[in-house]
């Protein structure tokens, strides 16, 4: 029998896993939750009742359709996915990143992204035994294209992940530069369009031109975070390899059914995204008017800003029942940075008023 002590843990568990901290989700019960880029709106009551009625009779004793044929067809129409491109579904786009990394993890293979970027790119590279290379952005969070092209030539990455818009910075990278990266890359380039609904920009129309390009979307930011559904879009040649690593029933019966119903009402989700964009404009204007903040432009449903004593301010906001994201010390370029998700008008008003009061008390 294995005697469980620290010695046996380190004999079994890989050292890079022992060193990791699990992805931390802070408790938010009773708080104004502006930390996770969720859509703050629920569905209209009539649609909620449709869902209730239809889910009541769903055979949850059966496994889901492993290929989710019906849902994929609906997604193709709702998200305007080109006919020639294939779709793979994941339990959130996190799972898709993991599948790609597992497939590409030949010995010594590199997964590249920019820094700061979505933290799961780095974490999943480690899970999958890939080597991670993060190329720093410029101080305004634009792509440092020369550094990127140098790093591509030096490290020959198997996969490059770029979020468009980027998280946690909120900006869209220059499209011409992204094309240069796709053309220079010896391997795959995955454009992660998690925040597409708020951005009016996409590389979907570039898929046909670049055989090494893949695109990710998720329904999480659109209002279905709890269902966990992400998509990978691209050529069958690539997707049929990734399909081999996808666990057969990764998208549940309820996720398939409820997404199917909600996507018949895409107009509701789009109109919610429009409300979020309008609130983003209001928040950007009000935050920019606050003298002690440096506010970064955003094409996503969140806003990044820099302020003196960010960690102290973050804690104070928490004491006032408002949870945002503290990025201070997470990366040198994010020193004293906080990130707030755009919530409902009421939530945003409360956040802005509390922030203003706290900043006045500081001076």
Residues in 96-155 at the binding interface with ligand PMP, rule: CB under 6 A = 118
Min. distance of Cβ 195 from ligand PMP in angstroms? 7
Decide whether 229 or 286 has the Cβ nearer to ligand PMP: 229
DSSP string for residues in 237-292 = HHHHHHHTTS-TT-S-HHHHHHHHHHHTTHHHHHHHHHHHHHHHHHHHHHHHHSTT
223 binds ligand PMP (CB under 6 A): no
As measured in angstroms, the least distance from the Cβ of 361 to ligand PMP is 32
Tell me the CB-side half-sphere exposure of residue 284, using CA atoms within 13 A: 16
Q: Is 198 in the site for ligand PMP (CB under 6 A)?
A: no
CB of 255 to ligand PMP, least distance (A): 12
Nearer to ligand PMP, 113 or 286 (CB): 113
Nearer to ligand PMP, 92 or 343 (CB): 92
Task: Return the axis-axis angle of helices 236-243 and 93-104, rounded to nearest 10°.
Answer: 90
193 binds ligand PMP (CB under 6 A): no
Tell which one of 230, 246, 302, 324 touches ligand PMP (CB under 6 A): 230
Contact in structure between 271 and 39 (CB atoms under 8 Å): no
Q: Does 164 bind ligand PMP (CB under 6 A)?
A: no
Q: Which two tokens stand for residue 132?
A: 């991670």
Q: Which of 37, 135, 227, 257 binds ligand PMP (CB under 6 A)?
A: 37
CA 173 to CA 189: how far, in whole Å?
A: 14
Of the residues 163, 214, 295, 324, which one makes contact with ligand PMP according to CB under 6 A: 163
Count interface residues toward ligand PMP (CB under 6 A). 13
192 counts as binding ligand PMP under rule CB under 6 A: yes
The least distance separating ligand PMP from the CB of residue 230, rounded to whole angstroms, comes to 4
What's the closest the beta carbon of residue 219 comes to ligand PMP, in angstroms? 7
Q: Which segments of the chain does DSSP mark as H helices, in order?
A: 6-12, 15-18, 45-56, 69-78, 93-104, 119-127, 145-155, 175-184, 236-243, 253-263, 266-289, 310-319, 345-362
Applying CB under 6 A, does 255 fall inside the site for ligand PMP?
no
Strand partners, 215: 191, 233
Cα–Cα distance, 149 to 38 (Å, whole number): 34
Which CB atom, from 225 or from 254, has the smaller least distance to ligand PMP?
Answer: 225
- To the nearest 10°, the Cα dihedral for 211, 185, 139, 276? 20
Task: Return the residue of 39, 74, 113, 167 that touches ligand PMP, per CB under 6 A.
Answer: 167
Contact assessment for residue 197 and residue 269, using Cβ atoms and an 8 Å cutoff: yes
CB-nearest residue to ligand PMP:
92
Q: Nearest CA to 305 among 340, 281, 258, 357?
A: 340
| Interaction between residue 94 and ligand PMP (CB under 6 A) | yes
CB 281 within 8 A of CB 206: no
* Token code pair at residue 33: 């939750």
- Among 40, 64, 92, 234, the residue binding ligand PMP under the rule CB under 6 A is 92
Q: CB-wise, 195 or 314, nearer to ligand PMP?
A: 195
Please report, as ranges, the residues that interact with ligand PMP according to CB under 6 A: 37, 92-94, 118, 163, 167, 192, 194, 218, 220, 225, 230
């Amino acid at each position: 029998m294995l005697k469980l002590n620290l010695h046996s843990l380190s004999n079994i568990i890989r050292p890079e896993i022992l060193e990791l901290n699990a992805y931390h989700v802070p408790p938010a019960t009773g708080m104004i939750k502006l930390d996770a880029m969720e859509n703050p709106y629920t569905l209209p009551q009539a649609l909620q009742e449709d869902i209730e009625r239809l889910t009541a009779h769903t055979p949850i004793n059966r496994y889901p359709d492993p290929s989710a044929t019906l849902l994929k067809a609906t997604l193709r129409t709702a998200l305007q996915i080109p006919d020639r491109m294939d779709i793979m579904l994941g339990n959130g786009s996190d799972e898709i990143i993991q599948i790609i990394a597992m497939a590409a993890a030949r010995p010594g293979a590199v997964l590249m992204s920019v820094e700061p970027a979505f933290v799961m790119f780095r974490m999943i590279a480690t899970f999958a035994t890939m080597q991670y290379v993060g190329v720093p952005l410029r101080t305004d969070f634009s792509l440092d294209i020369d550094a990127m092209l140098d790093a591509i030539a030096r490290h020959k990455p198997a996969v490059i992940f770029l979020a468009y818009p980027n998280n946690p910075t909120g900006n869209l990278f220059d499209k011409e530069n992204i094309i240069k990266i796709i053309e220079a890359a010896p391997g795959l380039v995955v454009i992660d369009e998690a925040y597409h609904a708020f951005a009016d920009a996409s590389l979907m129309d570039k898929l046909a031109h670049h055989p090494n390009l893949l695109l990710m979307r998720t329904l999480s930011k659109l209002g279905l975070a709890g269902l966990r559904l992400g998509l990978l879009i691209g050529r069958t040649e690539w997707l049929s390899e990734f399909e081999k690593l996808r666990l057969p029933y990764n998208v549940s019966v309820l996720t398939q059914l409820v997404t199917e119903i909600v996507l018949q009402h895409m107009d509701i989700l789009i109109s919610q995204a429009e409300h979020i964009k309008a609130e983003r404009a209001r928040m950007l204007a009000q935050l920019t008017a606050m003298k002690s903040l440096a506010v970064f432009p955003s094409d996503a449903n969140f806003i990044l800003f820099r302020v003196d004593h960010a960690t102290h301010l973050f804690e104070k906001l928490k004491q006032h029942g408002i949870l945002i994201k503290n990025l201070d010390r997470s990366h040198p370029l994010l020193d004293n940075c906080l990130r707030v998700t755009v919530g409902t008008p009421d939530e945003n008003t409360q956040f802005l008023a509390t922030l203003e009061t706290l900043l006045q008390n500081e001076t």
